[in-house]
Amino acid sequence: MEQHERVVIVANRTPAAKSAGGLATGLLDALKEKPSLWFGWSGELREDDCNSVQLFSLERLTVAAIHLAREAHNRYYNGFANGVLWPAFHHRLDLMSFNEHDYAGYLEVNQHMAEQLQPLLRPNDLIWVHDYHLLPFAGMCRALGVTQRMGFFLHIPFPVPSVAQAIPRIDELLDAMCANDLLGFQTEDDRRAFVTLCRERRPQKPVPNTGVYPIGVDPHALQKEAEGEPQVQLWPNDSIQGILSVDRLDYSKGLPERFKAYALLLEDHEELRGNVQLVQIAPPSRTDVPAYVDLRHQLTSLTGEILGRHATLDWQPLIYVEQQYERTALMPLYRQARVGLVTPLRDGMNLVAKEFVAAQDPQDPGVLVLSRFAGAASQLDGALLVNPHDPGEMAEAMRIALTMPLQERIARYQRMWSVLCASTIDGWRNRYLHDLRKVREQRRPAVPFSVSELMRRTSETAELAVAKAH
């Protein structure tokens, strides 16, 4: 049995033939060693050729990529996934913007992907679906008659029930998610929120198998990368103590709150002026979604305020960079920083926090200041945990980090290094796949999920909405 098994990854994006970031980084190496398949969107928008699958090989991994039409992608990705699910799952209902047309597009793309994947499947495949773009994917597959073992992993937080219930169509999405054999979450809080919601919204139906699988990094590989020659010497001769932040430009990452806390630190601690510098790397993402445009304006304005108030001819308190860097280039930068400042308002895990720790010099490590609302806070007990909504608390944590004696820095680093080594990306993948295999041994094939009614109802409502809009 085992030798015929093939792992099939389904994700919004396929890995590029050359470089890979985020999710791909953690999965690619292992997948290249055994026959496996990675299925998802190619990243290309085309008006033709959306009904064929492009195949290429990365060693023993086959990548199967589909193209999407611009309009379909816009409704699925910008409209529902990032206009509704992302804000709501990050507890930002104020930024959620629902319409039937986008929701129908989201379902259609999931359905299209399920239809394109089905002919590529083999009987012993182990299908592992990733993230909020693909909540209904398992339901669509079951409706097509796919009976293979199928699991889902959510990379972002799951909202508490009182927030989740405000998401239009959440019951339908829950039903479709429950067509998976195993649902994995980053933290116990996320898992519990999901199970509680299932019990409240589907009291007559069984709760599916769930588990907690905090995503990790490869600490030894990152440490080695960090020892490499830096492209830039940010703070030569230790003349200035560096604080480093690296985030996608996203409202969940708490950047304005962080800038305000840093401004407060400079305001309250004259002795730090001229001696400290915050470097914020923040490559823009999802630039078609309005909330991201607003955030960018807010940040450039805050940057101007801080520079105007505190900069001198020979000292810049803040460097704000929107350029994107490869992970390998980031590691030596993390190592130069005295403080890693990672303060999301809410985050599934936050890999930057783990990468920062992995990159430190064990003899002279920097200090991690970490939001207690990042999934990583449940593991990294050597960090200074802060409330990202409290500028005073964050400023004080920065001050403590900047003045922390070497011995305490080493002790905190060692605790976190042990956690990283005990919870690696390989361990994450192996534990998840092990549990997915085991779950099916205990359980009959998943019940078929009826999606046709859902699709029919949604497209009717969407047609109505479009008709009204015209």
CA pair distance 466, 470, nearest whole angstrom: 6
Question: Closest-CB residue for ligand GDG?
Answer: 348
- Residue 281 sits in the site that holds ligand GDG (CB under 6 A): yes
Measured from the CB atom, the residue of 134 and 215 that comes closer to ligand GDG is 215
Chosen residue from 215, 244, 299, 402 binding ligand GDG by CB under 6 A:
215
Cα–Cα distance, 76 to 47 (Å, whole number): 16
Contact (Cβ atoms closer than 8 angstroms) between residue 382 and residue 221:
no
Which residue is catalytic, options 102, 155, 190, 250? 155
Is 299 a binding residue for ligand GDG by CB under 6 A? The answer is no
**Residue partners of 183: CB distance under 8 A and separation at least 6:** 151, 152, 153, 154, 177, 194, 208, 209, 210, 211
For ligand GDG, the binding residue among 78, 223, 350, 379 (CB under 6 A) is 350
Q: Would you count residue 284 as binding ligand GDG (CB under 6 A)? A: no
Question: Contacts for 422-427 with beta carbons within 8 Å, 24 or more apart?
Answer: 423/214, 423/216, 423/379, 424/216, 424/217, 424/218, 424/219, 425/25, 425/26, 425/27, 425/215, 425/216, 425/217, 425/218, 426/30, 426/216, 426/218, 427/216
Least distance from ligand GDG to the Cβ atom of residue 173, Å? 19
Q: Which range binds ligand GDG by CB under 6 A, 6-14, 218-226, 245-253, 386-394? A: 245-253
Three-state SS string over 354-404 comes to HHHHHHCCCCCCCEEEEECCEHHHHCCCCCEEECCCCHHHHHHHHHHHHCC
The reply on whether position 352 binds ligand GDG by CB under 6 A is yes
Min dist CB 252 to ligand GDG, Å, is: 7
Among 74-82, 136-144, 205-213, 344-352, the segment contacting ligand GDG (CB under 6 A): 344-352
Nearest to ligand GDG of 279, 451 (CB atom): 279
Catalytic annotation, pick one of 181, 218, 250, 347: 347
Active site (annotated) includes residue 269 = no
Among the listed residues 5, 310, 325, 387, the single contact to ligand GDG using CB under 6 A: 325
Interaction between residue 392 and ligand GDG (CB under 6 A): no
The answer to whether residues 83 and 35 touch, using CB atoms and an 8 Å cutoff, is: no
Identity of the residue, 357 or 455, whose beta carbon is nearer to ligand GDG in the bound complex: 357
- Quick check: is 220 catalytic? no
Token duo for residue 14 = 């396929």
In the complex, the residues that contact ligand GDG under the rule CB under 6 A are 21-22, 155-156, 215, 246-248, 281, 283, 324-327, 330, 347-352, 355
